[in-house]
């Protein structure tokens, strides 16, 4: 018997709903798997289902619906809407709360009666039953431009790096800046399901958002601002402490709360980045304060490598590693108990694996990028930015394209306009002949200045039509390709994809 694999697409719906879409198999086991996935999601307390059925020819219709009804009774659903040929004649098979429709059009007419506010909704039906018509009514954003994130690829990359670690080494994953632009809740949920030990965010509001969507993992806030400490404590987030000022502010705010155990904090050491952190000269004061303050307990101490990816700076990296060991030993010896130590980032895992200590921090590697060729080959592309061709025109020699007439056509050319620009995250430095997109497997050079909402590409010699799909960031060109061409780093390319671009998430279960 073949193993059923469901390909799900996830994205935000209207009124803080979450849509889980499965337009695949019509066999019973497939419905069971998707319903199980819905029941295990952490995002919303209320869950609902909209299911379309086309019973297989080798299964009696009555038996098919009876099995579906039995599965539906295993969970509590706020709404159950089902449609399919003659389904109303089998109402006895379904829960009493289920609404049944022989015609999909009748169900679509009723959809407006349900707000699905703060619900997670599974929409599952074979493609021939047109479930996309349901999605079009419930989705929050309708755009031809989408940023598609493969959650299985993120899991693959995580487990690749885990394979390089000792079994006892913990993993902290950075999900700040919406996981480097790819998405916050969806990726944090994937990492939570994969059993990572900590998540890292930059600011308190990022952690609060994750908590509101059901993320229960320990979350370290790397920059706990004074104005947000009260909120940080309320949501049981854990602060990076990088100075005595921040530590005293935190302890003062902590007095307004009552916890049965000391509150976990994370001590940042400055070993050479000179951005944030305690120096070795400040450790005696820090240790004395911690020893006299019973409301807190150091959970970890860490530092940040400056240039682990650059062999030319290996002497400095080794100096940082030695400084960290000395400072961590001083701290632990002074406070008298074990704390988690971590200093390795993605590049550090690749090049200084022997210093993995108790935990490592994964950032850009998790999202498919490495500074090292052999390692890059082991990682999977996680994110693909796509749009479509809006219009195609033919221009004659001498005509110009876009603002300031910076591109002049040399020979007769076919030009395609794409509905995406720098407000969506396409850097203007990537225009005017420097960059390219991929259409039907062929490279099309970007011509003219990239506009706020549009850009033009040369499709001369490419077989394509209006409405065809265009890849702007993915495996080719990758964020690393673009970054190298315009003199920046992949982080900036990914984080610049703006919020107005619709994110969709795919996962195979």
Rounded CA-CA distance 328/414 in Å is: 63
Rounded CA-CA distance 493/503 in Å is: 16
Is the CA virtual torsion 338, 284, 274, 220 positive or negative? positive
- 429 secondary structure, DSSP code: G
Question: Residue 127: CB partners within 8 Å, gap ≥ 6?
Answer: 23, 24
Q: How many residues does the chain have?
A: 509
For residue 149, which of 121, 192, 123, 179 has the smallest C-alpha distance?
179
Of 37, 65, 83, 176, which is the active-site residue? Answer: 176
> Residue 416: helix, strand or coil by DSSP?
strand
Beta carbons within 10 angstroms of residue 460's beta carbon = 16
Contact 427, 467 (CB under 8 A): no
For residue 35, which of 11, 4, 57, 2 has the smallest C-alpha distance?
4
For residue 314, which of 350, 340, 276 has the smallest C-alpha distance?
350
H or E stretch at 7 = strand 7-12
For residue 494, which of 418, 389, 381, 376 has the smallest C-alpha distance?
381
What is the rounded radius of gyration, in angstroms, for the C-alpha atoms of the chain? Answer: 27
Q: Assess whether 64 carries a catalytic annotation.
A: no
Of 92, 127, 403, 434, which is the active-site residue? Answer: 403
CA quadruple 495, 375, 194, 163: dihedral, nearest 10? -160
Question: Residue 504: CB partners within 8 Å, gap ≥ 6?
Answer: 9, 10, 11, 146, 147, 148, 149
Q: Assess whether 127 carries a catalytic annotation.
A: no
Active site residues: 176, 403
């Amino acid at each position: 018997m073949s193993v059923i694999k469901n390909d799900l697409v996830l994205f935000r719906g209207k009124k803080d709903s979450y849509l889980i879409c499965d337009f695949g198999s019509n066999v019973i086991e497939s419905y069971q798997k998707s319903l199980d996935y819905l029941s295990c999601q952490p995002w919303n307390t209320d869950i609902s289902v909209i299911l379309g059925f086309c019973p297989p020819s080798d299964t009696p219709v009555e038996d098919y619906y009876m099995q579906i009804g039995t599965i539906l009774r295993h969970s509590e659903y706020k709404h159950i809407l089902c449609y399919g040929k003659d389904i109303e004649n089998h109402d006895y098979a379904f829960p009493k709360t289920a609404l049944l429709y022989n015609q999909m059009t009748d169900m679509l007419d009723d959809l407006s009666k349900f707000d699905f506010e703060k619900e997670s909704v599974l929409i599952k039906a074979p493609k021939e039953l047109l479930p996309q018509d349901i999605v079009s009514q419930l989705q929050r954003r309708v755009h031809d431009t989408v940023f598609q994130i493969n959650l299985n690829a993120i899991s693959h990359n995580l487990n690749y790096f885990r394979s390089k670690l000792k079994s006892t080494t913990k993993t902290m994953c950075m999900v700040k800046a919406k996981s480097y632009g790819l998405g916050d809740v969806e990726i944090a949920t994937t990492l939570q399901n994969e059993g990572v030990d900590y998540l890292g965010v930059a600011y308190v509001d990022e952690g609060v958002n994750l908590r509101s969507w059901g993320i229960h993992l320990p979350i370290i806030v790397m920059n706990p601002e004074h104005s947000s400490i009260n909120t940080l404590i309320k949501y049981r987030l854990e602060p990076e402490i990088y100075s005595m000022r921040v530590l005293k502010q935190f302890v003062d705010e902590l007095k307004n709360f009552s916890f049965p155990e000391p509150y976990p904090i994370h001590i940042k050491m400055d070993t050479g980045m000179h951005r944030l952190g305690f120096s070795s000269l400040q450790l005696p004061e820090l240790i004395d304060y911690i020893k006299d303050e019973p409301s807190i307990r150091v959970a970890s101490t860490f530092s940040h490598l400056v240039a682990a990816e650059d062999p030319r700076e290996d002497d400095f990296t080794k100096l940082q590693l030695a400084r960290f060991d000395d400072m961590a030993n001083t701290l632990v010896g002074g406070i008298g108990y074990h704390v988690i130590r971590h200093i390795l980032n993605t590049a550090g895992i690749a090049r200084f694996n022997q210093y993995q200590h108790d935990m490592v921090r994964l950032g850009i590697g998790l999202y498919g990028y490495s500074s090292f060729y052999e390692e890059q080959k082991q990682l999977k592309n996680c994110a693909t930015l796509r749009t479509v061709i809006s219009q195609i025109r033919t221009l004659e020699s001498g005509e110009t394209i876009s603002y300031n007439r910076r591109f002049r056509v040399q020979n007769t050319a076919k030009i395609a306009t794409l509905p995406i620009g720098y407000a969506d995250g396409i850097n203007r430095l990537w225009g005017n002949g420097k960059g390219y997109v991929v259409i039907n497997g062929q490279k099309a050079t970007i011509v003219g200045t990239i506009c706020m909402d549009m850009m033009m590409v040369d499709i001369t010699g490419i077989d394509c039509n209006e409405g065809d799909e265009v890849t702007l960031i993915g495996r080719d060109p990758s964020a690393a390709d673009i970054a190298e061409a315009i003199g920046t780093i992949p982080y900036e390319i990914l984080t610049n994809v703006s919020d107005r671009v619709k994110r969709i998430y795919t996962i195979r279960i």
